[in-house]
Amino acid sequence: MPLALLTYALGLGERKRHFPAPQPLQKRYDVLIIGAGGHGLACAYHLAKDHGITKTIVIDKGYLGGGNTARNTTIVRANYLTEEGTAFYKESLALFENLSQELDLNTMYSKRGHLTLAHTDAALRTARWRAEVNKHLGVRSEVVGRHELRKICPQLNLSDEVRFPVLGALYHAPGAIARHDAVAWGYARAAYRRGVEILQNTEATGFQVERGRVVGVRTSRGTITAAKVVQAVAGHSSVLAHKLGIRLPIRTVPLQACVSQPYQPFLDPIVVSGSLHVYISQSARGEFVMGGATDPAELYDTRSTLEFKEQLMMHILELFPQLANANLLRQWAGLADMTPDFSPVMGKTPVKNYYIDAGWGTWGFKATPVCGKRMAECVATDKTPALLKPFALSRFDDFDLVGEKGAASVGH
């Protein structure tokens, strides 16, 4: 047994903390970020690194990276349907590729290729549409037929003797997976090293507003004053914004997922079937990471259901009958904040000095680096970066939506 582990187990020697114990609160912060998930922490990091703003505090009602950051299936891709979505996620993918070096922590980023299966002519048409938009913006995506599919994913059941035979797929070679908690911890550590404070178990309970400007946040540990406030609380966005009188066009539904026990390497690409309500990848540890559709009703609850598991397994086995004897290890749920156009909401709000990062639906993890970087720019300069402009909250008043439902991996 390594000596460090032994001394730790026996309670000898000094225990090394990854993050220091919280210090007494400062009188006033330049920026207060509500939500210590990947997005909030990435924003804090980029405020410090790109804009020299280090008097920042990140608070969370739970623990660091314990919300949706810990409750997703870690897929990273840029094969969206709209130009706005594709350009945004293209930048995220580029940032992800270099993230381990940037944060000096292995995020276990693993490029696998991403297949969206088409079982109908309509699905093939959407795949072609996405491929054209993606190529136009310099993102690698192409429609492949069954012959190529067999080469990319020989394990896939391409038989015609099934309910919905596979006709082809959208193949997105840069599609990848990463280690979700490494991403959150990496940003937290890098932000902390630049002077950012992180306060866990501290809930935002209300706001202090003076003459239409937010000037502080009431928390379970008292009021914290700040010049600017950012909310990044996926799964609870409308509840928090409502405390400030901001109405968000969001409905919140659980999104369940599960992993199997670890198995030998079997599946390289990430495989998605919108029609069958299935997505699956195999992690570096060998676990099959799987999910399907969002729950049908609005709910703020992360319970797991047997019904979800049964439906999902039925569909998984249509695509991969070889997994019939695989054992499930764990099941969980996150909370998906769904907007009407399936695109996020980022940038300024009607309340001065209050910025919002919300509405991620089922694809927030893959946006962590770009959202952090661009939200930091927005907060620091008070100007909305070009990449964020299409995702303004005001688009729902202006009827200028960014319809991304066709790029969902998740059934709705």
Residues lying near ligand PYC in the complex (CB under 6 A): 73, 75, 77, 279, 291, 362-363, 409-410
61 vs 71, which CB is nearer to ligand PYC? 71
Q: Are 203 and 61 in contact (CB under 8 A)?
A: yes
Q: How far is CA 132 from the centre of its chain?
A: 25
> Cβ of residue 281: shortest distance to ligand PYC, in angstroms?
9
When the beta carbons of 39 and 77 are compared against ligand PYC, the nearer one is 77
Q: How far is the CB of 33 from ligand PYC (least distance, A)?
A: 24
Residue 258 near residue 290 (C-beta atoms within 8 A): yes
100 membership: H or E segment, kind and range: helix 99-103
> Residue 146: in which H helix or E strand, if any?
helix 146-152
- Could you tell me which residues come within 8 angstroms of residue 277 by beta carbon, excluding any fewer than 6 positions away? 292, 293, 311, 312, 315, 410, 411
**How many Cβ atoms from other residues are within 10 Å of residue 161's Cβ?**
6
Q: Which two tokens stand for residue 407?
A: 């790029």
Nearest to 191 by CA among 299, 307, 56: 56
Q: Which is nearer to ligand PYC, 73 or 349 (CB)?
A: 73
Cβ at position 78, least distance to ligand PYC in Å: 10
Residue 279: CB minimum distance to ligand PYC, A: 5
> Measuring CA to CA, how many Å separate 247 from each of 238, 241, 311, 380?
7, 7, 35, 25
Tell the smallest beta-carbon distance from residue 35 to ligand PYC (Å).
Answer: 19
- Our CB check for ligand PYC shows the closer of 73 and 100 to be 73
Nearer to ligand PYC, 342 or 355 (CB): 342
β-bridge pairing 222-231 and 354-358: parallel
Closest distance to ligand PYC from the beta carbon of 72 (Å): 6
Q: For residues 67 and 216, which CB has a smaller minimum distance to ligand PYC in the complex?
A: 67
- Provide, rounded to whole angstroms, the least separation between the CB of residue 49 and ligand PYC: 27
Query: Which segments within 167-212 are labelled E, that is strand?
Result: 168-172, 176-177, 197-199, 204-210
Nearer residue to ligand PYC within complex by CB, 229 or 367? 367
